[in-house]
């Protein structure tokens, strides 16, 4: 599907592009999604191993689960979709703001050179102390004996800094305001049908709302006005290139007025 970016309504002197990315973005790098045919949720019950209740009652099992995920993610490298988002952010910096919020907990966006990425569900690169609530760079795998460098708590004190079922995603105090400012909303590698992402496309005031996903399943109440199906590495690069051309052309013209 071709998108006519000339229909884009710019807002203010520095328009804002909001990109939401999900598991499909990293799937082509070898990181399994949770809900596909071979996904992690097919092997484990999320309520058993990725919830506050499980962390409190079966801490070692939760640690083992996340240690396995970290081990599986370590050899993975950024793909063309990660790289094109990072380059888009850097190339558009003189003209507009690009907010990239990811549901992924891997660091492939950072490895691709992204200048700014916000992890809605936390990340594997940091640990969270269950006692003092401070975060620190992760050291090795999660173990019972790890000690918090600030409050010195131990005995499973240092947990993965990821949002578990039953916890509120990060950034919900400021994300809605940026959604309202956005002129373009792009959801890539996610159906956008799971909370809180399902609310993002409803809350945004963007004139162009695009969903790029491998799965053609559409939520009946979806507010996307453009949908493109296929691999992120194939669909995202040409889309961002066209968007870049339109934005730079119009904003350069506006600057000379």
Q: Is 183 annotated as a binding residue?
A: no
- Cα 224 from Cα 205, distance rounded (Å): 11
Give me the half-sphere count of Cα atoms (radius 13 Å) on the Cβ side of residue 207.
12
Residues 126, 161 contacting (CB under 8 angstroms): yes
Q: Catalytic pick from 58, 82, 100, 121?
A: 121
Residues 85, 21 contacting (CB under 8 angstroms): yes
Q: Is 96 annotated as a binding residue?
A: no
Nearest Cα to Cα of residue 111 among 71, 82, 75, 69: 82
The H or E element containing residue 228 is strand 226-229
Give me the half-sphere count of Cα atoms (radius 13 Å) on the Cβ side of residue 109.
29
58 is an active site residue? no
- Cα 157 from Cα 148, distance rounded (Å): 7
Residues 84, 240 contacting (CB under 8 angstroms): yes
- Cα 192 from Cα 200, distance rounded (Å): 8
Two tokens at 163?
């949002």
Within a 10 A sphere around the Cβ of 161, how many other Cβ atoms? Answer: 21
- Cα 161 from Cα 8, distance rounded (Å): 37
- Cα 181 from Cα 96, distance rounded (Å): 12
Annotated catalytic residues are 121
Tell me the binding residues for Zn(2+): 129, 132, 148, 151
């Amino acid at each position: 599907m071709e998108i006519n970016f000339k229909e884009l309504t710019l807002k203010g002197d520095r328009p804002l592009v909001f990109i939401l990315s999900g598991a499909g973005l990293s799937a082509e790098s070898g990181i399994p999604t949770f809900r596909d045919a071979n996904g992690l949720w097919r092997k484990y019950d999320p309520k058993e191993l990725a919830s506050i209740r499980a962390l409190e009652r079966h801490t070692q099992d939760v640690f083992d689960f996340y240690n396995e995920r970290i081990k599986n993610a370590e050899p993975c490298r950024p793909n063309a979709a990660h790289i094109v988002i990072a380059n888009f952010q850097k190339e558009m910096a003189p003209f507009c703001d690009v907010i990239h919020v990811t549901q992924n907990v891997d660091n492939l966006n950072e490895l691709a050179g992204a200048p700014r990425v916000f992890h809605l569900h936390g990340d594997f690169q940091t640990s969270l102390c269950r006692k003092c609530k401070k975060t620190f760079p992760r050291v090795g795998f999660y173990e019972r004996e790890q000690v918090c460098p600030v409050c010195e708590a131990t005995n499973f004190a240092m947990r993965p800094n990821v949002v578990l079922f039953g916890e509120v995603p990060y950034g919900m105090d400021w994300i809605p305001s940026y959604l309202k400012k956005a002129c373009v909303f792009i959801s890539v590698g996610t159906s956008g049908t799971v909370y809180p992402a399902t609310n993002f496309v409803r809350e945004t005031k963007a004139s162009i709302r695009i969903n790029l996903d491998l799965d053609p399943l559409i939520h009946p109440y979806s507010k996307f006005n453009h949908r493109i199906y296929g691999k992120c590495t194939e669909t995202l690069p040409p889309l961002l290139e066209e968007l870049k051309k339109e934005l730079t052309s119009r904003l350069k013209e506006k600057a000379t007025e």
